A and B are shown apart, each in its own frame.
Chain A
Amino acid sequence: MTDGADMQTARRLRLPQINPVWVLLAVLIGAIIFMNPGFTQPTGYMNFLKRAAPLAILAAGQVYVITSGGFDLSVGSLITLVVVGASMLTNNDPAATYWVVPLMLGMGLGVGLLNGLIVCFLRVPSLIATLGMMITLTGLAFMWSGGAPRGYLPDTFRFFGRELIRDVPLVRFIPISVIVLLVVVGLLAWLMHRTNLGRQVHAIGDNPVAAGLAGVPVNRVRITAFMLSGLSGAIAGILLGGFAGVSTDVGSGYELQAITAAVLGGAQLLGGRGSVPAAVGGALALTAIFTLLNFLGLPQPVRQVVQGLILIAAVALAMHRRQQTGT
């Protein structure tokens, strides 16, 4: 291609810069407000954000792994393990929260580390490695608890997922989980888009060989990506456990939802492209879809069908745009 063509494409690219996920989200929110004007009240949108928080955090972590060229299927079962583990360890002792929360975050990092090590050094494709991890962690959660939750989560632990800050001007109240969401997503977005780590995550997902020959510590970056995903899983677990209490299948299905959210946000499967804010947008859009279908009173099967269609359509549209713009 000549340089003239380069400039042409570049110029045309600038027009549709806005990520379609935000358009989708805006349309969905509009529809929700139309269906249920109460959504414009703080109770409406704060509940929505509170509910979306675990998935959004999970998607923000998942987008690291996807951008680095992998998948992390283990986050769902990690959530379960965090919730079950925390209930076992705290055993309704409010004082235990202060060491259990860091421990759970450490466990998330540890699971991510293990995923990364398996992918980097045993050379197992991440799809299989994290699938194995998913099965193993679910089994561990059951083994640890003997198949049923054995303890309660004290209110101090549930603080993050359940409590609100009341009497806030303008919005009346802010759930703690929304604050956690903002902090975590802000941090992950900054890491991804403003730091060397983020650029290198993109590089190793784009071309691991070239990145390695350019001196990028490929394994270290990849392991870090898995660890951030693990960490986001642990945080999501703490929020979910806080929101709704203990059960042995809290996390099931979250891994696919997180991947879906990241993909809705335009993350390229197999690596090289991904945005944390857009993945969060994807998570909010997904939650908005569920909420909307709920308001419409559609039964579960219809929700599945809609989710499936949107998933395929989003990716097909992205591919179409990519071909059109020649990028």
Chain B
Amino acid sequence: MTEPVIEMEGISKSFPGVRALSDVSFDVRPGEVQALVGENGAGKSTLIKILSGVYHADAGTVRMHGKAVHFTHPVDSLKSGIAVIYQEFSLLPERTVAQNLFLGREPRGRFGLIDTARMRRETRDVLALFAAAGRIDPDQTVGSLDVATQQVVEIAKAVSTGARVIVMDEPTAALNEAECEELFETVDTLRERGVAIIYISHRMREITRLADRVTVLKDGEIAARFDDLPPPDAIVRAMVGRDIADFYAPPATEAEIGAPVLTVRGAGNDRLDGIDLDVRAGEIVGLAGIQGAGRVALAMALFGHAPFTHGEVTLDGAPVAFKTPREAIRGGIGLLPGDRKSEGLVLMQSVRDNGMLTSRAFAPLWGRAKRNRHTDETAMDGLLDAMEIRAASYDQEIRGLSGGNQQKAIVARWLSMRPRLLIFIEPTRGIDVNAKAGIYHLMRDLARDGAGILMISSDLPEVIGAADRILVMQNGKIAAEFPHGATEPQIMHAATGETEVAA
């Protein structure tokens, strides 16, 4: 076996009031994919930040090729060949692919000026490694690329720096199945080229598909280390410290499913076409499809954010045509956006304020903030308590909470409005396993109370596990429908339109 590129030994790190890592040892070898798993807050990010020089460890050593190194800045680690691909892309949308790839280390030509020709040429060379190369023009601005392609650029950027170690932090968070597969192939390519890969993910399927070894972190300590690929159950058990038998809530019984809450007939706009859709009371409808298939566009059309231009929509039997989110909310629709930080939360406000945001928005502008027609502070606190949100106080700014607790606060926001139809977009993105289960059960409880639920997710096991019925979108149309219990390949085929028409 080859020598490790990176060895981290006895790493400890404390922040004021909390011990983030204690005595963690970790290594990764060339040509392997080392999966790093753990719940949110388990210390994965802290470990990576120490590796990349963002934080400094209180104790312990980091060795690269056997030599102790001290990175004081991410740039140091980058120069030594460690590249980190963060969840939030670090690309500049206004600049070209080539400019982004060589950001901060542009090749110089005469008089120290940037050698644009060489930059373009080398960009093409690097991109040639990737299947997506054909879709990318080095002179294109990154902003004009879709998310998956942007990620390719991001990885290409890491490769072009000649990185020997690439850290991928939940790289599939924004990708659909087909794109995930493309990414996996890219990872395989990198592995063959002898790059060491640290792969952080919550998704067991990706880990079983990719990982050579698995390290599980829990509460800042190593909970388990697998030198061979273990069965997924073992990983989950190590992560959460117990078995999760009832990870997904049980599907709806026939008796629970009621009359249609929402019907859509022949609706469309510039991104959607011929949408026919029913969501019944008590039912969770999963919406699958690749990125750009129109799932989010459909949600935003229903929600009035980018309305339908034609077709008929009824809500509880009454025809509706929402032109703004406000109208949709007033009509009884709620929506949990896919990007919590930028679309869901008002980060500097308190947990309670986040929970009461929508109910206040529909109360008189000059009315008292403590109490409105939908809820009041006591009721909201009760709701937050019921969801077991962990916060020092509901007066605390919400940005200090973990992703799962933040998501619950947004759910509470909608619960107080008692919507007829609730649309979840990527409800568990970036949320740890325990919290995921909580969200699934919440959705089911809501459905049982008679609401219709539309869930958009790029995580296929999640769609399969949580939904009573699965719709697959492709090219702005609903391409197929499956009952609970459909398999991943079936859905994949319908989403990509590669094989037989779904039954």
Contacts and interface: CB of A to CB of B under 8 A. Distances in A.
Indicate whether A and B are direct neighbours in the complex (CB within 8 Å): yes
Interface of A: 1-12, 191, 194-200, 202-203, 206-207, 209-217, 220-221, 224, 268, 272-273, 326-327
B466 interface: no
B344 A210 contact: yes
A212 B413 CA distance: 14
Given A4-B17, A10-B400, A206-B346, A211 B366 contact: no
B18 A2 contact: yes
Contacts of B17: 4-5, 7-9, 12
B interface residue count range (under 10 / 10 to 19 / 20 to 34 / 35 or more): 35 or more
A196 to B, nearest CB: 4
B347 A206 contact: yes
B402 A3 contact: yes
B15 A5 contact: yes
A224 B365 CA distance: 10
Interface string B328-369: 010000010100001111111100010011101111111111
A324 to B, nearest CB: 9
Interface of B: 15-18, 20, 41, 303, 305, 325-326, 329, 335, 337, 342-349, 353, 356-358, 360-370, 372, 390-393, 396-397, 399-402, 405, 413
Nearest to B219: A2
A54 to B, nearest CB: 25
Nearest to B364: A196
Contacts of A7: 17, 392
26 contacts: A2-B20, A6-B392, A10-B392, A10-B393, A10-B400, A11-B392, A191-B366, A194-B369, A195-B366, A196-B360, A199-B356, A200-B361, A200-B365, A206-B346, A206-B348, A207-B342, A207-B345, A210-B337, A214-B358, A215-B326, A215-B329, A215-B357, A217-B326, A272-B346, A272-B348, A327-B399
A284 to B, nearest CB: 25
Nearest to B15: A5
A213 B337 contact: yes
Q: Is the interface of A mostly helix, strand, loop or mixed?
A: helix
Interface core residue of A199, A216, A220, A224 (most chain B CB under 10 Å): A199
Interface core residue of B17, B399, B402 (most chain A CB under 10 Å): B17
A213 B372 contact: no
Interface core residue of A214, A216, A217 (most chain B CB under 10 Å): A214
A197 B344 contact: no
A203 B349 contact: yes
A210 B343 contact: yes
B400 A9 contact: yes
Nearest to A201: B365
Contacts of A4: 17-18
Contacts of B16: 5, 8-9, 12, 326
A8 B401 CA distance: 12
Contact of B369 (A1, A196, A215): A196
A88 B367 CA distance: 38
A210 B337 CA distance: 8
A196 B391 contact: no
Contacts of A327: 397, 399-400
Contact of B365 (A2, A10, A211, A220): A220
Nearest to A204: B346
Contacts of B370: 194
Given A212-B325, A217-B361, A203 B397 contact: no
Nearest to B367: A196
A3 B42 CA distance: 11
Contacts of B361: 196, 200, 211, 214-217
Nearest to B363: A196
Contacts of B348: 202, 206, 268, 272-273
A195 B396 CA distance: 19
A19 to B, nearest CB: 16
Contact of A213 (B343, B360, B393): B343
A196 B346 contact: no
B345 A210 contact: yes
A206 B350 CA distance: 11
A196 B365 contact: yes
Contacts of B357: 199-200, 203, 211, 214-216
A206 B305 contact: no
Given A5-B15, A273-B348, A196 B402 contact: no
B364 to A, nearest CB: 7
Contact of B342 (A191, A195, A203, A209): A209
Nearest to B402: A3
B400 A213 contact: no
Given A1-B41, A200-B365, A202-B353, 17 more contacts: A3-B391, A4-B18, A5-B18, A5-B400, A11-B392, A12-B17, A200-B357, A200-B360, A202-B349, A203-B353, A207-B342, A207-B347, A210-B344, A212-B325, A213-B344, A215-B357, A326-B16
B283 to A, nearest CB: 24
